[in-house]
Amino acid sequence: MTIVVNGDQTQIAEGSGISDLVKSLGLVTERVAVEVNKRIVRRADWSSTTISEGDRVEIVHFVGGGEGDCD
Amino acid sequence: MADSLIIAGREFRSRLILGSGKYASFELMVKALEASGTDMVTVAVRRVNLGDRTKESFLDHIDPKKYHILPNTAGCYTAADAIRTAMLAREVLDNNWIKLEVIGDERTLFPDNQGLLEATRELVREGFVVLPYFNDDLIVARRLIEAGAAAVMPLAAPIGSGLGIQNLTNLRILREEINEVPLIVDAGVGTASDAALAMELGVDGVLMNTGIAGADDPIAMAEAMNLGVRAGRLAYKAGRIPRKLYASASSPLTGAIE
C-alpha cells in the first residue's frame, strides 16, 4: 500500500506497523520520533500501531541547530 | 556545586550554553563544545533524510550523558508548529526541556511574542520545562514567567548578527527586575567581550551558536567564550569599582619628596 513518509510516497506491506516501517528504513529506534497524520505515536505504542493506506508519516530526529536555522 | 547555574532545579557548572548548528563538520562541533566547557547544547528537530542514508545522526556524536540536550523549535513561525515540534522532540529522548522559539519575521528572526506566550502556556501545561527566546521587553518577560517559563532568554541582537548587546539599558533593567527565574542572554553574541559584558551586568548565562560556529577558528573562539563568560561572572561577583568622572589617586597623597 502507498503511504507518505516525510513528504515522499512510499510503498509498504499491508498490515505494517510503525516498528516495521522504522526497521525497514534502517533507522535507530532510540533516535527518532514518529507522527502519523499529525498525531505523535509514542515509542511504546509502535509495535501495536498499524499504518493504513494513505497515512502521512513524519519521522524526525535531532540535527545540529542553534537558533532560527532551517537547514 | 559552587556558583552553578540552576534551571528548573537542575544544576549546570557552566553558564555558557551552545547551539550545535552551522559547524563545518560534526568533528569540529564536538571539539568546539569541548573547548567551550558547556554542559548544555541545543539541537533542532528535523525530518530524517531518508534519501541520503549516509548522513550521520547528531546523537552519534554527542553523548546525552555528558551534555544536557536542549531541543529547540527553530524554524517555527506559529505557536502550533512550535508546540508540535516540542512534542516530537520530547519523544526522541524522553526529555521534556524545550528551548522555545516562535519567530515573527524572516529577516530579523525576531520573536512573535503573542505566539510565544501561547506556546509557553500550552507547553508548561503539558509538563515541559520551557526556556523561551524573546526580545528584551520587561513586560513580555513577566508574562512568560507568569505562564511558567523556567528561564527567560532575551536576545542581545538578531540571531547570527554578531552585534553584541544592542540595548544595554534594557538588559540592565531586566536584570534588576527579574529574579524569579534565570535570565540568559540568547542570540547576537559576536565575540568574547560581548559575552563577558553580559555576565558583568549580572545575567545568569549566555547562549550562543553563530558566534562560535561562524568564527574562523571555532575551537579557539569556543575557548575564548568559555573564558569570557567566566571572567564576566567573576568580575560581577567581585564587585567593581564605581565609575567616577574625575581621578582618584591610587598612591598616598602625603610623604612625597619636595
pLDDT for B59 equals: 87
pLDDT above 70 (res A67): no
| C-alpha separations of A24 from A46, A63, B5 in Å | 14, 21, 43
Distances (CA, A) of B242 to B13, B140, B236, B239: 29, 31, 12, 9
Q: Is A31's CB within 8 Å of B59's CB?
A: yes
ipTM of the complex: 0.91
Active site residue B99: yes
Q: Can you give the pTM of this predicted structure?
A: 0.93
Question: Rounded to whole angstroms, how far apart are CA atoms B102 and B188?
Answer: 17
Q: Count the alpha carbons within 13 Å of B90 in the hemisphere toward its beta carbon.
A: 19
Which entry of B55, B65, B66, B99 is annotated as an active-site residue?
B99
Residue B241 has pLDDT above 50, yes or no: yes
Q: Can you give the pLDDT at residue B57?
A: 77
**Is-contact B134 B141, C-beta < 8 A?**
yes
Instruction: Tell me: pLDDT of A69 over 60.
Output: no
- Reported residue count of chain A is 71
Predicted confidence (pLDDT) at residue B145 exceeds the cutoff of 70: yes
- Chain B CB within 8 Å of residue A69 CB: yes
Range A1-14 average pLDDT:
93
Give pLDDT, residue B162: 95
pLDDT tens for residues B108-143?
Answer: 999 999 999 999 999 999 999 999 999 999 999 999
Residue to mutate among A57, A67, A70, with most B CBs inside 10 A, is A67
Contact B26 A64 (CB under 8 A): yes
pLDDT band per the 50, 70, 90 thresholds, residue B78 = very high
Q: Rounded to 5 degrees, what angle do the CA atoms B75, B207, B182 make? A: 110
